[in-house]
Structure formats: C-alpha cells, structure tokens
Structure 1
Amino acid sequence: MKTTGNTILVTGGGSGIGLALAQRWHDAGNKVIVTGRNAEKLQAAIAGRPNMSAVSLDVTDADAIAAFAKDIVARFPNLNVLVNNAGIMNAEDVSAKRDLTQAEATVVTNILGPVRLIDALVDHLAVQADSAIVNVTSGLAFVPFPKAPTYSATKAAMHSYSVALRIQLEGKVEVIELAPPAVRTDLTPGQSTREGYMPLDDFADEVMTLFAVEPTPEEILVQNVMPLRTAEANGTVPQVLERLKAL
C-alpha cells in the first residue's frame, strides 16, 4: 500500500484507532473519508483538515451499506483504499442462559459489516491502481480474551477472512490485516486510561512506520501485540490466557 496519494475510506473514523490513523493518513498527503454513526464526532475529526470528508454510515444496516457504496464511489471515484475499522466490544458472562442482543450486535458489526462493505466496493477497488483493503482485527484474534468471547471470535473470523480474501484478490487488491494490542481508546469503559494498555498516539505512530515498509507487510503488528500473535507458534497460549484472565 502506498503511503501518499490515496483516497482512503475509514469506517469508525470518528474516534479511537480509526480517528488517529485517518488523521495521520490525511497529514501524509491522502484524501480521507471517515464514517460512523456519530455525526458530531465525525465533524470534529475532519475539522481543520481540508482533504478529509465525513459521511455517516451505520455498518449494521445492509441496505445503508449498499446505498452508501454507490454514493461514495460517485462522489470519490478515485477511492482506492478501504479500512474496515468500525467495531464494538462487550464483556459477557456466558456461564448461564442470557440475552444475546449484545452478542448478535457484535457479530453483525464486526463481521457482517466489513464483509458487506467489501462486497459492495470490491468491483470498484479491483479496477483502481494501488488499491488495498485493510481489515482491523485484534491480538485477541489469536488468543481470546475470556471476558469477551464473542468479540474475540469475531476478530478470529476476520483474520481468517482476510487470509482467504488475500488469496482471491491477489493481483487485484492488496489485503492487509492490522491487529492491534490493547490500546487506550474508548472501545470499552475505562479503557482510555487503563494502565498497561498502549497509548493511542504511540500505537498510531508505530503503525504508520510499519505501513511505510516496502513491500507493505501482510500483517501490521506493533511490538506490543507480538506475545499474542506468536503465542500458538511459541507454545505460550496457556500462559497468555492466564494473563488475560487476570485483566
């Protein structure tokens, strides 16, 4: 993925990792479109950045995604990079029968949202120069967080989907997986100040450095996520799970 001269669409770009990366990509010389459900946050995200645009989108709404894709291609015909970043995470007690509303919403947001958006835009991306799809997963795709089983499962699914997608789109669209560690964002209550989590600016700066590597790695992995990413290969999954259980 080239680092400048792109037109980049970032879902969930009004806060957290999406916001930090969207603004850095803009400042590096790219046109950036941020989407999300909170119009106020989106407007704050693009303030003072002339090559950033904000367009509302609910990634849980299949019809909205289809309409959005047609509109965004018409408005930004040079769109060549899709960043599937929007996601939700909830703690769950699965030890007894429960209301599955949150679990179902997590699956729709974290899996069906990006799958539907990729489907809606893949024909357009396939004919663009230097096109790329970036799927934001998680270190928890490789070792699950016991308190968030559905979230962890959705990220494992998107890791697998990205691997298969990369093979099918070889020679047409570059497929990159960005797997963050625990980062100080507002993804969950109290996470933005939680001790031991990676500061957002440090994470975003390291990510941008990795995106500048040529050729771009298939997986963008900051150092803090490596204990999770390599746990299975290193035989350390039980030890990593013990640490995650304590969080």
Structure 2
Amino acid sequence: MKTSGNTILVSGGGSGIGLALAQRWHDAGNTVIVTGRNAAKLESAVAGRDNMHAHALDVTDAAAIAAFAADIVAQFPELNVLVNNAGIMGYEDATAARDLSTADDMIVTNILGPIRLTDALIDHLAKQADSAIVNVTSGLAFVPLPKAPTYSASKAAMHSYSVALRVQLEGKVEVIELAPPAVRTDLTPGQSTREGYMPLDDYADEVMTLFAQQPTPAEILVQNVLPLRNAEANGSVPQVLAMLASL
C-alpha cells in the first residue's frame, strides 16, 4: 500500500483508532473520507482539513451501504483504499439464557458490515491502481477474551475472511489485516483511561511506521499484540487465555 497519494475510505473514522489513523493518513498526503453514524464526530474529525471529508453511513444497513458506495465512487472516482474499521464491542454473560440483541448487533456490525461494504466497492477497487483493503480485526481474533465471546468470534471471523480474500484478490487488490492490541479508546466504558492499555497515539504512530514498510506486511502487528498473535504457534494459548480471563 502506498503511503501517500491514495484516496482512502475509513469506516468508523469519527473516533478511536479509525480517527487517529485517518488523520495520520491525511497528514501523509492522502485524500481521506471518514464514515460513521455520529455526524458531529465526523465533522469534528475533518474540521480544518482540506481533502478530508465526512459522509454519514450506518454499516448495519445493507441498503444504505449500496447507495453510499454508488455515491462515494461518483464523488471520488480515484478511491483506491477501503479501511473496514467500524466495530462495536460488548461484554456478555453466556452462563444462562439471555437477551441476544447485543450479540446480534456485533455480528451485523463487525462481520456483515465490512463484508457488505467490501462487496459494494470491490468492482471499483479492482480497477484502481495501488488498491488495497484494510480489515481491522483484533488480537482477540487469536486468543478470545472470555467475557467478550461474540466480539472475539467476530474478529476471528474477519481474520479468516481476510486470509481467504487475500488469495482471491491476489494481483488485483492488496488485502491487509490490522490487528490491534488493547488500546485506550472509547470502544468499551472506561477503556480510554484503563491501566495497561496502549495509549492511542502511541499505537497509531507504531502502525504508521509498519505501513511505511515496503512491501507492506500482510498483517500490521504492533509489538503489544504479538503475545496474542503468536500464542498458538508458541504453545502459550492456555497462559494467555488465563490472563485474559482474569481481566
């Protein structure tokens, strides 16, 4: 993936990791489009930034995704990078029957959302030079957080999807997986100040350094996520899982 000269669409770009990376990509000389459901956050994200644009989108709405894709390609025909970042996380107690609406929402947002948005844009991206799809997963794709089973499963699904998509799109569209560790954002209540979580700016800076490597790694993995990513290979899953269960 080029470091500059792209037109990049970042879903969930109004806050957290999406916002931090969108603004850094903009600073590096890219045209950036941020989407999300919160119009006020989107407008704040692009304020004072030429060539950074806000467009509302609810990735849980299949019809809205299709209409949005047609509109965004018409407005930005040079669009060549899609960053599937929008996601939600909730904790669940699965020890007894419960309301599954939170699980439903995570599956639609975290799995169907990026699949639908990718599908809506793939014909366009496949025709562009230097095109790429970046799927934001999680270290929890590799070792689950027991109190967040559906979230962890959704990210494991997107890891698998990214691996398969990379094979299908070889030579047409670069597929990159970005798997964050625990980062100080507002993804869950209190997370933005939680002890032991990686500061957002530090995370974004390290990610940008990894994206600058040539060729771009298929997986963007900061040092803090390596214990989870490598747990299965080095036989430490039980220990890492026990650590996560204690959180």
Q: TM-score, normalised by structure 2?
A: 1.00
Unaligned stretches of 5+ residues in structure 1: none
> Take 1:217 and 1:24, find their aligned partners in 2: how far apart are those partners?
18
Deviations along 1:146-175, whole A, 9 cap, x unmatched? 000000000000000000000000000000
> Take 2:219 and 2:30, find their aligned partners in 1: how far apart are those partners?
21
* Structure 1 residue 122: Cα displacement: 0.2
Aligned residue identity for 2:59:
V
Corresponding residue for residue 236 of structure 1: 236
Corresponding residue for residue 126 of structure 1: 126
What does 1:17-36 align with in structure 2 at a 5 Å threshold? 17-36=17-36
> Take 1:39 and 1:201, find their aligned partners in 2: how far apart are those partners?
23
Corresponding residue for residue 143 of structure 1: 143
Corresponding residue for residue 182 of structure 2: 182
Corresponding residue for residue 171 of structure 1: 171
* Structure 1 residue 230: Cα displacement: 0.1
Q: CA RMSD in A?
A: 0.3
SS of corresponding position for 2:216: coil
* Structure 1 residue 48: Cα displacement: 1.2
Corresponding residue for residue 42 of structure 1: 42
Corresponding residue for residue 80 of structure 1: 80
Counterpart check, 1:158 vs 2:170 = no
> Take 2:48 and 2:141, find their aligned partners in 1: how far apart are those partners?
36
SS of corresponding position for 1:9: strand
Over the matched positions of the two proteins, sequence identity in percent amounts to: 82
> Take 1:94 and 1:88, find their aligned partners in 2: how far apart are those partners?
18
* Structure 1 residue 231: Cα displacement: 0.2
Deviations along 1:7-60, whole A, 9 cap, x unmatched? 000000000000000000000000000000000000000011111000000000
Q: TM-score, normalised by structure 1?
A: 1.00
* Structure 1 residue 246: Cα displacement: 1.0
Unaligned stretches of 5+ residues in structure 2: none
Corresponding residue for residue 106 of structure 1: 106
> Take 2:20 and 2:243, find their aligned partners in 1: how far apart are those partners?
28
Corresponding residue for residue 217 of structure 2: 217
* Structure 1 residue 183: Cα displacement: 0.1
> Take 1:219 and 1:44, find their aligned partners in 2: how far apart are those partners?
30
